């Protein structure tokens, strides 16, 4: 499973990129707004750090506006992926962009049928939000399993990005459900390293080593 970092914070991206485990970046208007910087400047800087897919989201709600934004965004860097909402106009824009060879990430997916529409439109990626489903007592990981089954039944090439990751168990469940990608906040990525037995074991090794001196 590929790992993306879900952030628009340059310091976080630089920190995690040094570990060599990140395959791409996803951003959204909320994450960009938190940085208080020019949108294009942030995206441009991200492309200079991570050599992989960088999702940049449109803010228009009509296909014409989305397409105009997309044409502008793809000029930033070849790795830019246009992120579009899973609404009728978003699917329309996805279909047009895919025919032009422009990569797309259809976001705010909450049902298998929505994911089917994204694949039919030629989306490069679809982003089911498993954390937000869990928030309302729905089975987020089951959505991943359903989408994967549908895509494999009909050989759709669209890749699934498990999004809205809240904690390490979501990462585990996404991997078990065979999600192609998980996009994860820095805090959760760091939590993946943690296990008390690792800390105890390292402490013992170092203590034993000191007794040999």
pLDDT reported for residue 21:
97
Number of structural domains (the chain) is 1
Identify the pLDDT of residue 191. 97
pTM: 0.94
Question: pLDDT digits over 48-64, tens only?
Answer: 999 999 999 999 999 99
What is the per-residue pLDDT for 176? Answer: 98
**How much is the pLDDT for 79?**
98
How confident is the model at residue 213, as a pLDDT? 64
Domain extent at residue 127:
2-211
Q: What are the structure tokens assigned to 23, written together?
A: 């395959």
Average pLDDT over every residue of 202-213: 84
Per-position DSSP letters for the chain, written without gaps between them: -EEEEE---HHHHHHHHTTT---EEE--HHHHHHHTS-HHHHHHHHHTT--S-EEEE---SSHHHHHHHHHHHTTT-TTEEEEEESSHHHHHHHHHHHHTT--EEEEEE-SHHHHHHHHHTT-SEEEEBHHHHHHTT--HHHHHHHHHHHHHHHT--PEEEEBS--SHHHHHHHHHTT-SEEEE-HHHHHHTT--HHHHHHHHHHHHHHHHT-
Which pLDDT value is given to residue 93? 98
CATH number of the structural domain spanning residue 56: 3.20.20.70
Q: What is the pLDDT of residues 130-156, one digit of tens each?
A: 999 999 999 999 999 999 999 999 999
71-128, pLDDT tens digit by residue? 999 999 999 999 999 999 999 999 999 999 999 999 999 999 999 999 999 999 999 9
Q: Label residue 208 by pLDDT band (50, 70, 90).
A: confident
Q: How confident is the model at residue 198 (pLDDT cuts 50, 70, 90)?
A: very high
Give the active site residues: 83
């Amino acid at each position: 499973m590929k790992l993306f970092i879900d952030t628009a914070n340059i310091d976080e991206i630089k920190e995690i990129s040094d570990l060599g485990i990140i395959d791409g970046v996803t951003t959204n208007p909320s994450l960009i707004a938190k940085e208080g910087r020019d949108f294009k400047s942030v995206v441009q800087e991200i492309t200079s750090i991570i050599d992989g897919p960088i999702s940049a989201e449109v803010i228009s709600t009509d296909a014409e506006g989305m397409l105009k934004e997309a044409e502008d965004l793809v000029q930033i860097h070849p790795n830019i992926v246009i992120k579009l909402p899973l609404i009728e106009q978003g699917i329309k824009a996805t279909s047009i962009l895919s025919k032009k060879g422009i990569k797309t990430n259809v976001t705010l997916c909450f049902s298998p049928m929505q994911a089917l529409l994204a694949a039919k439109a030629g989306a490069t990626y679809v982003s089911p939000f498993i954390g937000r489903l869990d928030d309302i007592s729905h089975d987020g990981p089951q959505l991943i399993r359903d989408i994967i089954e549908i895509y494999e039944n009909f050989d759709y090439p669209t890749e699934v990005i498990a999004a809205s990751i809240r904690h390490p168990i979501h990462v585990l469940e996404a991997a078990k459900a065979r999600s192609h990608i998980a996009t994860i906040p820095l805090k959760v990525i760091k939590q993946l390293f943690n296990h008390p037995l690792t800390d105890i074991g390292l402490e013992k090794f170092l203590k034993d080593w000191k007794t040999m001196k």
